[in-house]
């Protein structure tokens, strides 16, 4: 199966000696994030990884299997990943506010204006059958479930006023996040993105004092992005 040959020494598998699966998945993630799921071919993926097409199939099985690992890795790097780790009884409002600020900063600092890989994928694959489309939908449902749990917790703890329909509020929150990620492709200033978030959170009843807190250390999101778990650990 003719692929792009690497000038690097290869082992019996056809992969370059020193081939690191996590590095390959990260390469694929950045390529898919930039070009989209449907636009990236196996040939492009193999070439970017400096391996043959046959080695690509031997290593990952196929595009769908690789995309599962891409989504898992991306899930560990997103600004909203800390939402998954809020335990019962812990403050909710400061975490959500911090996550939203980090999200605005990350999108504003992305020179390629790529937005969110998951949101981009939904726009591509919302009506496409297959494992990748199902995984993307699962990711969105997971985020909705987490936000519903956190909003219920915040109400119970008295951090925000009682919400008439918490489930609907969680769906609304997810819709806002999707819209914000798309908006960030054209609205490039962090302060403008945060202004939209602040308005939305205020409408949910988040305390003004929490929304007026100064932004956290700008280096924090970058440090978190470097703290990556192994592929497969991040997708819920």
- 38-61 pLDDT per residue, tens: 899 999 999 999 999 999 999 999
Thinking of the domain 21-70, which architecture would CATH place it in?
Orthogonal Bundle (1.10)
What totals of helices (H) and strands (E) does the chain contain, helices first? 11, 0
Percent of the chain's residues with pLDDT above 70: 81
pLDDT score of 74 more than 70: yes
pLDDT for the residue numbered 220: 53
Intrachain domains 21-70 and 78-225 with the same fold: no
Segments making up each domain of the chain, as ranges = 21-70, 78-225
For residues 21-50, average pLDDT: 94
pLDDT digit string (tens) for 95-133?
999 999 999 999 999 999 999 999 999 888 766 667 788
What is the CATH architecture of 78-225? Orthogonal Bundle (1.10)
Comparing 171 with 14, the larger pLDDT belongs to: 171
**CB within 8 Å of 120: residues ≥ 6 apart:** 33, 36, 114
Reported as a single tens digit per residue, the pLDDT across 165-214 is: 999 999 999 999 999 999 999 999 999 999 999 999 999 999 999 999 87
The confidence score (pLDDT) of residue 157 equals 97
CA distances from 139 to 30, 100, 135, 187 (A): 18, 18, 6, 25
């Amino acid at each position: 199966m003719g692929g792009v040959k690497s000038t690097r020494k290869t082992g019996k598998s056809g992969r370059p000696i020193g081939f690191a699966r996590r590095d390959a998945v990260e390469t694929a993630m950045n390529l898919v994030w930039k070009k989209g799921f449907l636009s990236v071919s196996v040939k492009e993926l193999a070439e970017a990884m400096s391996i043959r097409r046959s080695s690509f199939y031997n290593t990952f099985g196929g595009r769908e299997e690789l995309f599962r690992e891409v989504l898992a890795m991306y899930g560990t790097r997103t600004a909203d990943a800390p939402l998954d780790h809020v335990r019962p009884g812990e403050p909710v409002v400061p975490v959500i506010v911090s996550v939203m600020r980090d999200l605005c900063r990350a999108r504003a600092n992305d020179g390629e204006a790529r937005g969110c890989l998951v949101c981009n994928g939904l726009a591509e694959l919302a009506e496409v059958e297959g494992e990748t489309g199902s995984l993307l939908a699962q990711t969105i449902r997971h985020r909705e479930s987490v936000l519903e749990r956190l909003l219920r917790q915040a109400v119970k703890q008295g951090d925000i006023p009682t919400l008439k329909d918490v489930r609907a509020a969680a769906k609304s929150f997810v819709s806002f996040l999707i819209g914000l990620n798309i908006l960030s492709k054209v609205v490039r200033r962090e302060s403008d993105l945060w202004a939209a978030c602040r308005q939305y959170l205020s409408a949910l009843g988040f305390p003004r004092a929490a929304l007026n807190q100064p932004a956290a250390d700008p280096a924090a999101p970058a440090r978190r992005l470097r703290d990556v778990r192994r592929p497969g650990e991040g997708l819920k």
